[in-house]
Amino acid sequence: MNPSLSSPAPDAADTPLLALAGVGRDFDSGGQRVAILKDIHLKIYAGEMLAIIGPSGSGKSTLMNLIGCLDQPSHGSYRVQGRETREMSADELARLRREHFGFVFQRYQLLAGLSARENVEIPAIYAGTPDHVRFDRAAHLLQRLGLGERLEHFPSQLSGGQQQRVSIARALMNGGSVILADEPTGALDSHTSEEVMRILQELNAAGHTVILVTHDAKVAAHAQRIVEIADGRITADRPNEHAPALPAAAPREASNTPDKQGNTGAGLGAAFMQLREAARMALHALAAHRMRSLLTMLGIIIGIVSVVLVNALGEGSKQKILANLSSMGTNTISIFPGKGFGDRNSSAITTLNVGDMRAIAAQPYVDSVSPQIQSSVVLRMGNMERTAQISGVGEQYFRVQGYELAEGISFDAESVRTLALDAVIDSKTRDALFAKHENPLGKIILLGSVPARIIGVTAPKESSFGPPSQNLTIWLPYSTVMGRLTGSQTLQNITVRIADTAAPALAEEQITALLAQRHGTQDFFTFNSVSVRNMVEQTTLVMRLFISSIAIISLIVGGIGVMNIMLVSVTERTPEIGIRMAVGARQADIMQQFLIEAVLVCLLGGLLGIALALLLGQVIQQFLSGDFQIVFSSAAIVLAVSCSSLIGLAFGFWPARNAARLNPVEALANQ
Ligand code: ADP
Ligand code: MG
């Protein structure tokens, strides 16, 4: 080592704050490794003010980036407070930048969308400083730099000198024990340059180490030590005898010294604060490109609208069908003679009888049972004559089928035993025979030639399928119909209501076994309302899944749109990423910011989609008949929201990772 290059340390006994030994930096240029910095030895002590001077292209900025841990040496050793930086991870380097270094750039590098105060606050956000501390400190620093009146001004509303003062305040935000200023006056007129240099001198006087890069000897003359660099090598390193005396009134406030004031570091609160700041930044970014954001969301919106609407329509039709089904009686198994509906031989089968019914009724899994035997008769009352359907049923029939009585009572076991001529009529028969105010109870009607007394009227019930039947129905005890009307001993069907605690499928199996044993052959078939219900549910589910999968394709297409626009956004905002990294953002912070932006786009799209779906649902409802309801389920809405957030996460991941992996120096240079 050339002894003439050893630095005149103020306190040689101390370890240097920053120590470069044999540092070189190579770049690939046109397929060749070019050595830009060669064998740099430099020791910088706390409290120095040092100017690095040299012609353009001599490697000053490259050296500055190495000192500021924005870049790493290709060879040699660089120690910060005795700690070797070579093996440090990207996040450890970010931490050094955050805690020790404050950058001041030639072109200020302020974020255009943020006010002066917000720009100054950025380093503290990444340090996890609480809101109010950050806010006050930023305001205080700006005041001290003479910008107290301009806290909420945007960079475009400030002069160059004012912007440079904002960037100095930003460098001081986390303490800034080492201020690195790369051509800080390069874009300023001579008067403003003087001002900025005086601020840097004052900061040095207050205890900050100041390292200054310049090609201008007049600017360098403000420093106490001048390092000359030419063609990547240090050619001189000398104290500056002509350095101006320290300003007499140098402010030596406590808050001016490098400190960790308010830097609470990690913790749940800090993490939440960073998340909130990132969300705020993301909203900023979205608002800056409203049209673009909306178009990006369109795919997501369409997908969400279809998922939510399809589910609401599907749920509506399912409920409609199930309501119809339950009008057939819930949890019932019906037994018919023959091999199935439409079996022409079924009328010849005469084995289904009252004994079967009693046997089934004795089973533990049975709630109630009713047989049915039907016949057509001429119904007469007074001089009125109508054709009616006679239905001979058991006393439990109305319970089995879920009928309600609007008037009177139904017959009981005693009526069945005594072949009573008690009739329950349906509401249509009542309307056909009686006026509204007339009381039908106790009236006698003629069924063919047999007189019967009306004891009850059923409430109207929704018909199962198809148009409501115009049949008039009259129910009598099955024993009465068999004994007094038809004379037949064969039942047309038996309907069993299964106990709520029993498994319908098992009950159906056992009834089948029981009857097959009684008949000696299986000359009957069963119809299970539960299995029909399951079938309906499955069919609507399959339909919904099918249409939803189409909607999901639209969501994926939307997601690709989001990814595309996020990639554009990362490219556009590369300088911003560079600035954030320079002030100490970790890779995870950058990643988080872009991920949140992607999720926010998708989430907003999802919410818009849900709103649109609800609106469209209202419109469709207007065109549908009254008894069909579109049913929006909260599950579908929750699903839609989580779906769109997930899409944001999935499709935002790659662009966000690209952003996080940018090299800070290259990102900063990119503008
Ligand atoms: P100064 O700040 O002294 O003007 P720089 O340190 O910016 O000089 O650049 C020194 C030399 O290194 C220049 O010739 C420049 O082209 C080259 N250089 C700087 N950065 C890179 C890079 N990332 N890749 C290739 N060459 C680079
Ligand atoms: Mg430069």
Q: How far is the CA of 588 from the centre of ligand 2 (A)?
A: 29
Asked if residue 36 has its Cβ within 6 Å of ligand 1, the reply is: yes
Asked if residue 664 has its Cβ within 6 Å of ligand 1, the reply is: no
Choose from 262-271, 390-399, 537-546 the range with maximum mean pLDDT: 390-399
Q: Tell me what pLDDT residue 615 has.
A: 92
Nearest CA, atom 27, ligand 1: 27
Please check the confidence at residue 11 and state whether its pLDDT lies above 50. no
Please write down the HEC assignment for all residues of 626-656. CCCCCCCCHHHHHHHHHHHHHHHHHHHHHHH
pLDDT tier, 467 (very low <50, low <70, confident <90, very high otherwise)? very low
Phi and psi based region of residue 170 (left: phi greater than 0; alpha: psi -120 to 50; beta: remaining) = alpha
Q: How far is the CA of 60 from the centre of ligand 2 (A)?
A: 6
Which atom number of ligand 1 is nearest to the Cα of residue 58?
3
What type of residue sits at position 644? S
Q: How far is the CA of 669 from the centre of ligand 1 (A)?
A: 10
pLDDT digits (tens, 9 = 90+) for 138-159: 999 999 999 999 999 999 999 9
pLDDT digits (tens, 9 = 90+) for 545-600: 887 787 788 888 888 988 999 999 999 999 999 999 999 999 999 999 999 999 99
- For residue 11 the two structure tokens come to 């306190």
Rounded to an integer, the average pLDDT of 504-520 is 89
Q: Tell me what pLDDT residue 330 has.
A: 64
Q: Tell me what pLDDT residue 59 has.
A: 93
Please write down the HEC assignment for all residues of 582-632. HCCCCHHHHHHHHHHHHHHHHHHHHHHHHHHHHHHHHHHHHHCCCCCCCCC
pLDDT digits (tens, 9 = 90+) for 641-669: 888 889 899 999 999 999 999 999 999 88
- For residue 70 the two structure tokens come to 């924005």
pTM: 0.69
- For residue 344 the two structure tokens come to 């022409």
Q: What 8-state DSSP symbol labels residue 338?
A: S
b/e burial code for range 64-91 (CB count within 10 A of at least 16 → b): bbbbbbbbbbeebebbbeeeebeebebe
Distance CA(425)–CA(408), nearest Å, equals: 10
pLDDT digits (tens, 9 = 90+) for 397-427: 887 777 888 888 888 889 889 999 999 998 8
Q: Tell me what pLDDT residue 266 has.
A: 55
Mean pLDDT of the chain: 86
Q: Tell me what pLDDT residue 14 has.
A: 67
The number of beta carbons lying within 10 Å of the beta carbon of residue 342 is: 7
Rounded to an integer, the average pLDDT of 212-226 is 92
Which atom number of ligand 1 is nearest to the Cα of residue 229?
3
Which of residues 10 and 188 earns the better pLDDT score? Answer: 188
pLDDT tier, 328 (very low <50, low <70, confident <90, very high otherwise)? low
Nearest CA, atom 2, ligand 1: 61
Which atom number of ligand 1 is nearest to the Cα of residue 63?
6
- Bridge-based pairing of strands 209-214 and 49-53 is parallel
Q: How far is the CA of 56 from the centre of ligand 2 (A)?
A: 7
Please answer whether residues 286 and 293 qualify as being in contact, where contact means their C-beta atoms are separated by less than 8 angstroms: yes
Q: How far is the CA of 598 from the centre of ligand 1 (A)?
A: 35
Please check the confidence at residue 275 and state whether its pLDDT lies above 50. yes
Distance CA(565)–CA(476), nearest Å, equals: 74
Asked if residue 57 has its Cβ within 6 Å of ligand 1, the reply is: yes
